Structures are given as C-alpha cells and as structure tokens.
Amino acid sequence: NAGVTQTPKFQVLKTGQSMTLQCAQDMNHEYMSWYRQDPGMGLRLIHYSVGAGITDQGEVPNGYNVSRSTTEDFPLRLLSAAPSQTSVYFCASSYSRSPLHFGNGTRLTVT
Amino acid sequence: AQSVSQHNHHVILSEAASLELGCNYSYGGTVNLFWYVQYPGQHLQLLLKYFSGDPLVKGIKGFEAEFIKSKFSFNLRKPSVQWSDTAEYFCAVNIRDTGNQFYFGTGTSLTVIP
C-alpha cells in the first residue's frame, strides 16, 4: 500500500515551459486535491476533485489545470510556468470528511 | 470566507517546557478539526482529529487538543516537549456542510532547544 505518490520530487523549469506533476493514490479515495506551500502562507488549495470526471477550483487556481479521468490519478498541469509558481506542491486524498493523506511533495523552481 | 488563524508564527522552547499552540476558525457551522505536523523536509502527517464527542482529544506522541465551540478554537498542547518535536504545525478545518474542502492555517514553526 503506497498511499499517495507524487512525481517528480524536484523540478526546475524555465519561464514559459510546461510540465505535469503526477499524483496517484491506491486507497480508492474519492477526494483528491492539490496544494501549494509557500513560506508564511501555509497551504493553499489549487484544485480539487470529489470523484472521477469532477474537478473544481480552489483558492489559487490561476495558471494550473487538472483532470480526473480515473479514481487513482490527479495530475496537475502548468501550461506556461512563471517564477511566481516556484513553490512546494502537495497532493492529498481522502474519503469524504476523513483526514487528508499527503504525498511527499514536489519542489518546483521556475527561473 | 472561512479562515483559520494560527497566531503563533514561530515558537522557541527548551526541552521539557510545555507547549500550547493556538488555532481559531471563522466558520459557525459544524466542523471537523485537525492538527497536522510537518517535520523538516517531509510531508504533512496527521497528529490528531476531532469529529464529535469529547472535546479533549488525544493524538500521537503525547499531543492533545481541546475544542472549545464557544471560542471557535482548537488549541494544541503538549505537557513536555522534546527536541524531536521541532517541526511546523498546521491547524485545519473541514466544513461538514460543504464539500470535502480543508482550510489550513498558516502554520506555526516550533523549535525545541536541547
């Protein structure tokens, strides 16, 4: 039972490049979400999904896209990276209203 | 908008000192409450949770938290901290009436000096 798996662990991008952060969970959780963590700002919700085929925006969705074609996977796409997107990204999943299970994070630097 | 406030941004304690970290939330309805811990370089891990019942909940590693509904608070406590408790602590609120969204505080960085 791997839990929540995020890849890659580290990534450096140049401004304007695109990339996808992968997130997969093997706990059959219907709820999945993406957060970014910045110093002094805690965790801010980017996008979330309550089930396959259903996604919605969180607090800071601009510049990010998501899709949920399966229960297990919830990738986060940066279409045109900007320095303001330098952050640590966490994927999390849970059953409805149960505690979130977090992945190990992806540290992204945009130069 | 819902919000979660952690008023202590950075706390420094000596080993064996007692700890209390404040957490207040702004939603008036029914909530689930959580404390998470993030050790340096690691992901967030659940310390304890409150759903209903006894407002004093006990978590892992000797931590406990008290839910005071009238004060919209869920403060974290530990009677005697250890160096290994050095970490960042996040309070989180899950509002039962809406979807499964969690709202996090900005975190409190705890440094325990040996």
What string of pLDDT tens digits covers the 111 residues of chain A? 679 999 999 999 999 999 999 999 999 999 999 999 998 888 999 999 999 999 999 989 999 999 999 999 999 999 999 999 999 999 999 987 789 999 999 999 999
The per-residue pLDDT of chain B, averaged, comes to 92
CA distance A97 to chain B (A): 5
**CB contact (8 A) between residue B102 and residue A42:** no
Calculate the CA dihedral of residues B66, B70, B72, B77 and round it to 10 degrees. -20
Nearest CA in chain B to A39: B106
Q: What is the interface size between A and B, counted as CB pairs within 8 Å?
A: 53
Å between A55 CA and nearest CA of chain B: 12
Helix (H) or strand (E) holding B16: none
